[in-house]
Amino acid sequence: MVVIDDIRSILARLRARDARELSAYGIDLDGAASAFASPAILARVFAHSGRATAVVTFHRLTPKALVVSMMATDDWPFVARAVVRWGWREARPALIAAGYERAECRTIEGHVEAIELLERLGFVRECLLPRFGAQGASFLQYAWRLTDHVPVQLTQGAAAAATAADTCVEAGRGTA
């Protein structure tokens, strides 16, 4: 269950990269707290030593697609494995059962921890969004194609997935 006090606690102790990303979006902490606390299709707070450490939310974008968001504190390494396990074992099956086919996530270019998490969960980099941020920062768009059986990265390697993302086509397939 996601509680606004947990969200505010996380936002008050954000990892530097997450704080930079929020700033690049042009979102202040109150705005972020409201967004994370708004009714979600699926949401969870992860804790370490009794303190809220990370929050993950899935909000409806279309009848078949979601936007996924996550913010964490510097204690992220202590909950990272639990987040991945929850993603594969609980979130993905629940979202598929609810009829969703994809979850999108954007992260600021260079946010290595976020990119590693997305790729570990099977998200595929779709494209670069130049000058997407409020002050012109570039972002990367990833998608978790929930009904894909095997992510591109696992079948053809990360280089093929990155090339596909840069050209906005799926690796191994030509343009239509």
For 95-135, how does the pLDDT look when each residue is reduced to its tens digit (9 = 90+)? 999 999 999 999 999 999 999 999 988 999 999 999 999 99
CA-to-CA distance for 155 and 124, rounded, in angstroms?
Answer: 12
Given a cut of 70, the residues of the chain with pLDDT beneath it are 1, 149-176
For residue 73, give the DSSP letter. B
Residue 147: what pLDDT?
Answer: 80
Q: Kindly state the DSSP code that residue 77 receives in the 8-state scheme.
A: G
Per-residue CA distances from 101 to 55, 92, 97, 141 (Å): 22, 10, 10, 16
Domains of the chain: 4-167 (3.40.630.30)
SS3 at position 100 = coil
Q: How many CA atoms lie within 13 A of 157 on its CB side?
A: 3
- Give the contacts of 30 (CB within 8 A, at least 6 positions apart): none
pLDDT number for residue 1: 61
What pLDDT is stored for residue 167 in this prediction? 39
Cβ neighbourhood burial of 21 (10 Å; 0-12, 13-18, 19+): buried
pTM score over 0.85: no
CA 104/CA 142 separation, integer angstroms: 6
**Which H or E element spans position 167?**
helix 152-167
